[in-house]
Amino acid sequence: MWQPYSQLDRNSYYGYALKVTSDYHGVTLVEHSGGQPGVSANFGFIPELNLVAAVLTNVSDASASEIWLEAINSLLGLPLEERRSTEPYVKLSEDKQKRFVGTYQSNEETCLQIVWKNSQLKAILDNEVRPLRTSDENTLVMMDNEKPIHFYFNQENKLWAALFGMRMLLKVNEG
Protein backbone atom coordinates (compact mmCIF):
# COMPACT_ATOMS: atom_id res chain seq x y z
CA MET A 1 0.00 0.00 0.00
CA TRP A 2 2.91 2.37 0.41
CA GLN A 3 4.79 1.74 -2.82
CA PRO A 4 4.92 5.09 -4.70
CA TYR A 5 2.30 5.18 -7.43
CA SER A 6 1.36 8.76 -8.28
CA GLN A 7 3.41 11.88 -7.54
CA LEU A 8 1.77 14.43 -5.20
CA ASP A 9 4.54 17.03 -4.91
CA ARG A 10 8.30 17.26 -5.44
CA ASN A 11 9.15 14.51 -2.91
CA SER A 12 5.92 12.73 -1.95
CA TYR A 13 3.83 10.11 -3.70
CA TYR A 14 0.49 8.44 -3.27
CA GLY A 15 0.71 4.68 -2.83
CA TYR A 16 -2.52 2.78 -2.54
CA ALA A 17 -4.21 4.68 0.33
CA LEU A 18 -0.97 5.97 1.87
CA LYS A 19 1.23 9.00 1.23
CA VAL A 20 4.93 8.18 0.91
CA THR A 21 7.94 10.48 1.16
CA SER A 22 10.77 8.18 0.14
CA ASP A 23 13.85 10.10 1.26
CA TYR A 24 13.12 12.41 4.15
CA HIS A 25 16.54 12.96 5.68
CA GLY A 26 17.44 9.32 5.08
CA VAL A 27 14.16 7.73 6.19
CA THR A 28 10.78 6.95 4.60
CA LEU A 29 7.63 8.68 5.85
CA VAL A 30 4.42 6.71 5.31
CA GLU A 31 1.19 8.50 6.26
CA HIS A 32 -2.56 8.70 5.98
CA SER A 33 -4.64 11.68 7.03
CA GLY A 34 -8.29 12.51 7.10
CA GLY A 35 -11.00 14.54 8.66
CA GLN A 36 -14.68 15.09 9.13
CA PRO A 37 -16.55 18.09 10.50
CA GLY A 38 -15.15 18.54 14.00
CA VAL A 39 -12.13 16.24 13.73
CA SER A 40 -8.85 15.76 11.85
CA ALA A 41 -6.20 13.08 12.12
CA ASN A 42 -2.87 11.88 10.74
CA PHE A 43 -1.29 8.48 11.26
CA GLY A 44 2.09 7.41 9.98
CA PHE A 45 5.20 5.35 10.43
CA ILE A 46 8.89 5.23 9.58
CA PRO A 47 9.66 1.62 8.59
CA GLU A 48 13.43 1.95 8.99
CA LEU A 49 13.03 2.97 12.65
CA ASN A 50 9.99 0.85 13.57
CA LEU A 51 8.42 4.13 14.65
CA VAL A 52 4.66 4.79 14.58
CA ALA A 53 2.92 8.06 15.48
CA ALA A 54 -0.67 9.32 15.36
CA VAL A 55 -2.24 12.73 15.83
CA LEU A 56 -5.95 13.01 16.62
CA THR A 57 -7.67 16.37 17.05
CA ASN A 58 -11.19 17.51 17.76
CA VAL A 59 -10.84 20.51 15.45
CA SER A 60 -11.78 20.34 11.75
CA ASP A 61 -9.26 22.82 10.43
CA ALA A 62 -6.25 21.76 12.51
CA SER A 63 -3.45 20.51 10.32
CA ALA A 64 -2.94 17.10 11.91
CA SER A 65 -0.43 16.33 9.15
CA GLU A 66 1.75 19.32 10.06
CA ILE A 67 1.51 18.52 13.78
CA TRP A 68 2.50 14.92 13.00
CA LEU A 69 5.50 16.07 10.94
CA GLU A 70 6.65 18.41 13.73
CA ALA A 71 6.57 15.47 16.16
CA ILE A 72 8.56 13.34 13.69
CA ASN A 73 11.04 16.20 13.18
CA SER A 74 11.52 16.40 16.93
CA LEU A 75 12.20 12.66 17.13
CA LEU A 76 14.66 12.89 14.21
CA GLY A 77 16.46 15.88 15.71
CA LEU A 78 15.39 18.19 12.86
CA PRO A 79 14.04 21.75 13.11
CA LEU A 80 10.30 21.62 13.79
CA GLU A 81 9.58 23.75 10.70
CA GLU A 82 11.36 21.33 8.30
CA ARG A 83 9.00 20.31 5.46
CA ARG A 84 8.69 17.26 3.23
CA SER A 85 9.45 19.35 0.16
CA THR A 86 9.73 22.91 -1.01
CA GLU A 87 8.27 23.90 -4.33
CA PRO A 88 10.47 26.15 -6.49
CA TYR A 89 9.56 29.73 -7.33
CA VAL A 90 8.92 30.32 -11.02
CA LYS A 91 7.72 33.58 -12.58
CA LEU A 92 4.99 33.16 -15.20
CA SER A 93 3.47 35.81 -17.45
CA GLU A 94 0.15 37.32 -16.42
CA ASP A 95 -1.61 35.46 -19.27
CA LYS A 96 -0.21 32.11 -18.13
CA GLN A 97 -1.23 32.83 -14.55
CA LYS A 98 -4.77 33.82 -15.51
CA ARG A 99 -5.38 30.45 -17.21
CA PHE A 100 -5.68 28.87 -13.71
CA VAL A 101 -8.71 31.07 -12.84
CA GLY A 102 -11.86 29.05 -12.25
CA THR A 103 -13.82 26.95 -9.82
CA TYR A 104 -12.78 23.36 -9.08
CA GLN A 105 -14.91 20.86 -7.19
CA SER A 106 -14.77 17.23 -6.04
CA ASN A 107 -17.62 14.77 -5.71
CA GLU A 108 -17.15 15.17 -1.94
CA GLU A 109 -18.04 18.85 -2.34
CA THR A 110 -14.56 20.24 -1.72
CA CYS A 111 -14.63 23.53 -3.62
CA LEU A 112 -11.56 25.54 -4.59
CA GLN A 113 -11.87 28.82 -6.42
CA ILE A 114 -8.87 30.45 -8.10
CA VAL A 115 -9.32 34.19 -8.71
CA TRP A 116 -7.22 37.00 -10.17
CA LYS A 117 -7.36 39.97 -7.80
CA ASN A 118 -5.03 42.98 -7.53
CA SER A 119 -2.68 41.47 -10.12
CA GLN A 120 -2.23 38.26 -8.11
CA LEU A 121 -3.68 34.78 -8.06
CA LYS A 122 -5.58 33.87 -4.91
CA ALA A 123 -7.30 30.73 -3.74
CA ILE A 124 -10.63 30.78 -1.96
CA LEU A 125 -11.07 27.65 0.14
CA ASP A 126 -13.57 27.29 2.99
CA ASN A 127 -14.32 31.04 2.70
CA GLU A 128 -10.65 31.89 3.34
CA VAL A 129 -8.64 33.85 0.78
CA ARG A 130 -5.06 32.66 0.40
CA PRO A 131 -2.36 34.17 -1.81
CA LEU A 132 -0.78 31.89 -4.40
CA ARG A 133 2.53 31.77 -6.21
CA THR A 134 3.56 29.92 -9.33
CA SER A 135 5.89 26.96 -9.06
CA ASP A 136 5.93 25.74 -12.66
CA GLU A 137 3.71 25.81 -15.76
CA ASN A 138 1.18 23.48 -14.08
CA THR A 139 1.54 24.17 -10.35
CA LEU A 140 0.43 26.86 -7.92
CA VAL A 141 1.47 26.94 -4.27
CA MET A 142 -0.47 28.35 -1.32
CA MET A 143 1.97 30.82 0.19
CA ASP A 144 0.79 30.45 3.81
CA ASN A 145 1.36 26.69 4.05
CA GLU A 146 3.40 25.73 0.93
CA LYS A 147 0.69 23.30 -0.25
CA PRO A 148 0.93 22.73 -4.00
CA ILE A 149 -2.04 22.59 -6.35
CA HIS A 150 -1.21 20.71 -9.55
CA PHE A 151 -3.34 21.45 -12.64
CA TYR A 152 -4.10 19.16 -15.58
CA PHE A 153 -4.55 20.22 -19.18
CA ASN A 154 -6.03 18.16 -22.02
CA GLN A 155 -4.57 17.74 -25.53
CA GLU A 156 -6.14 21.06 -26.58
CA ASN A 157 -4.33 22.73 -23.64
CA LYS A 158 -7.64 23.32 -21.87
CA LEU A 159 -7.47 23.12 -18.08
CA TRP A 160 -9.86 20.43 -16.78
CA ALA A 161 -8.79 19.49 -13.21
CA ALA A 162 -6.64 20.29 -10.19
CA LEU A 163 -5.02 17.92 -7.71
CA PHE A 164 -5.17 19.45 -4.24
CA GLY A 165 -3.88 17.31 -1.41
CA MET A 166 -5.28 13.89 -2.09
CA ARG A 167 -8.35 15.14 -3.99
CA MET A 168 -8.89 15.52 -7.72
CA LEU A 169 -11.08 18.59 -8.28
CA LEU A 170 -12.78 18.96 -11.66
CA LYS A 171 -13.05 22.40 -13.20
CA VAL A 172 -16.72 23.36 -13.13
CA ASN A 173 -16.52 26.92 -14.52
CA GLU A 174 -14.18 29.65 -15.65
CA GLY A 175 -14.63 31.70 -12.49
Q: How many domains does the chain have?
A: 2
Buried b (16+ CB within 10 A) or exposed e, 39-76: ebbbbbbbeeeeeebebebeeeebbbbbbbbbbbbeeb
Indicate if 46 and 72 belong to the same structural domain: yes
Q: Could you tell me if residue 36 is inside a domain?
A: yes
What residues make up the domain containing 123? 94-173
pTM for this model (two decimals): 0.72
Indicate if 62 and 132 belong to the same structural domain: no
Indicate if 67 and 121 belong to the same structural domain: no
Q: Could you tell me if residue 84 is inside a domain?
A: no
pLDDT tens readout for residues 84-93:
888 889 999 9
Q: Could you tell me if residue 81 is inside a domain?
A: no
Q: Could you tell me if residue 89 is inside a domain?
A: no
Burial of 17 (0-12, 13-18, 19+ CB in 10 A): exposed
pLDDT tens readout for residues 96-128:
999 999 999 988 778 999 999 999 999 998 889
Indicate if 63 and 98 belong to the same structural domain: no
Closest CA relative to residue 144, chosen from 165, 127, 163, 129: 129
